[in-house]
Amino acid sequence: LLSADNGTVDHPNGTAQQLPRIIIIGVRKGGTRALIEMLSLHSSVAAAQNEVHFFDWESHFQKGLPWYRSQMPFAYPNQITVEKTPAYFTSAKVPKRIHQMNPDVKLLLILRDPTERVLSDYTQVFYNRLQKHKRYQPIESVLVKDGEVNLGYKALNRSLYYMHMQNWLRYFPLESIHIVDGDQLIRDPLPEMKKVERFLRVEPQINASNFYFNKTKGFYCLREDGRERCLHDSKGRAHPRVPPAILQKLDQFFHQPNQKFFELVGRTFNWK
Ligand code: A3P
């Protein structure tokens, strides 16, 4: 059955593809996969499997909203669709585009200690290159240039949260953006997920039995209908060892930007 307004196919069992009303906008390496998987535990949530990159990739954006909708999972009428594309947070053109689609969309942003996020970002690129049999510079030479923090390293910019947040606040009120503490989500996911449920105004459903700590992985894994699963091996990788003096430089580098971010969002985080 073709529905009249959007040209998508309604499934006979009553499900249909819907535009997302919740978007996880980032940050890259903040714990976005963990967040969307944990959110999927909720029966009112239907989550897109892949990162859609609709609002940040021109070739996708030009295909328009019907295409975007066609990337979404089949959902029951009582379900809310969510997608996550971590690159949205740091892409300046995205806030306006999402606002144009739906000014009432609920945005989830998961952040982590900015220095830690940089190391995670480096690790991700390192492994991507390794897979392609390419080398990557050692972390010290990426982070530091001529004895100073290397401002040319893109991953540093992605951890300047206040800069990106300013772009979002031009289009969305703070109340539309819920910030998940990514460091807390690693340590103890349940309280963070309860806050997410409240923000989304969905019935409280996610509970302690949905999580168990897996010693081998060193992270919490999920339990749903008796089935247990951990995130992929690429989530929760060891980071390279960095000399303490360089870590300190990074922490210093982020100190001011962090303060600006705290002011912007009226909330502090336990970052170094
Ligand atoms: P590391 O692999 O650097 O530790 P993203 O999904 O946005 O790419 O974020 C990946 C990060 O999610 C991982 O970074 C990891 O620290 C974090 N994470 C949070 N909860 C996790 C969990 N339960 N299992 C695995 N990784 C988790």
How confident is the model over 103-123, as pLDDT tens digits?
999 999 999 999 999 999 999
Cis ω for the linkage preceding 27 (within 30 of 0): yes
Which amino acid is present at 102? N
Structure tokens belonging to residue 46 = 């239907």
Q: How far is the CA of 261 from the centre of ligand 1 (A)?
A: 22
Tell how far the Cα of 46 is from the centroid of ligand 1, in angstroms: 21
| Ligand 1 first shell, C-beta below 6 A | 29-34, 86, 120, 123, 185-186, 219-220, 231, 235-237
The answer to pTM > 0.90 is yes
CA-nearest residue, atom 23 of ligand 1: 220
176-218 pLDDT, tens digit per residue, is 999 999 999 999 999 999 999 999 999 999 999 999 999 999 9
Residue at 251 is within a domain: no
Domain count, the chain: 1
* Mean pLDDT for the chain overall: 95
**217 within domain boundaries:** yes
ipTM of the complex: 0.99
Asked if residue 208 belongs to a domain, the reply is yes
Q: What is the CATH number of the domain that holds 103?
A: 3.40.50.300
- CB environment 33-62: b (16+ within 10 A), e (fewer): bbbbbbbbbbebbbbbeebbbbbbeeebbe
**Domain contains 81:** yes
240 Cβ neighbours under 8 A, 6+ residues apart: 119, 122, 123, 126, 138, 139
Specify the pLDDT at position 11.
76
Asked if pLDDT for residue 2 goes beyond 60, the answer is no
Residue 260 has pLDDT above 90, yes or no: yes
Mean pLDDT of 61-80: 97
Q: Residue 210: inside a domain, yes or no?
A: yes
Residue whose C-alpha is closest to residue 209's, from 199, 196, 217, 220:
220
Q: How far apart, in Å, do the first and last CA atoms of the chain sit? A: 55
For tokens 């580098």, name the residue: 253
**Based on the number of CB atoms within 10 Å of its own CB, is 158 exposed (0-12), middle (13-18) or buried (19 or more)?**
buried
Annotation-wise, does 31 bind a ligand?
yes
Nearest alpha carbon to residue 18 among 62, 80, 63 = 80
Annotation marks residue 29 as catalytic: yes
Question: Which residue among 190, 235, 239 is best mutated to probe the pocket of ligand 1, counting the most ligand atoms within 8 A of its Cβ?
Answer: 235
> Hey, what are 216's tokens?
């081998």
Residues 234, 123, 134, 152: what is their CA dihedral angle, to the nearest 10 degrees?
140
Asked whether residue 247 is domain-assigned, the answer is no
Q: What is the pLDDT of residue 24?
A: 99
Amino acid at position 24, single letter: I
Q: Is there a domain that residue 141 lies in?
A: no
Dihedral (Cα; 61, 160, 84, 272), 10-degree rounding: 180
Domain of residue 43: give its range. Answer: 16-115+157-235
The pair of structure tokens assigned to 235 is 């989530």
244 in a structural domain = no
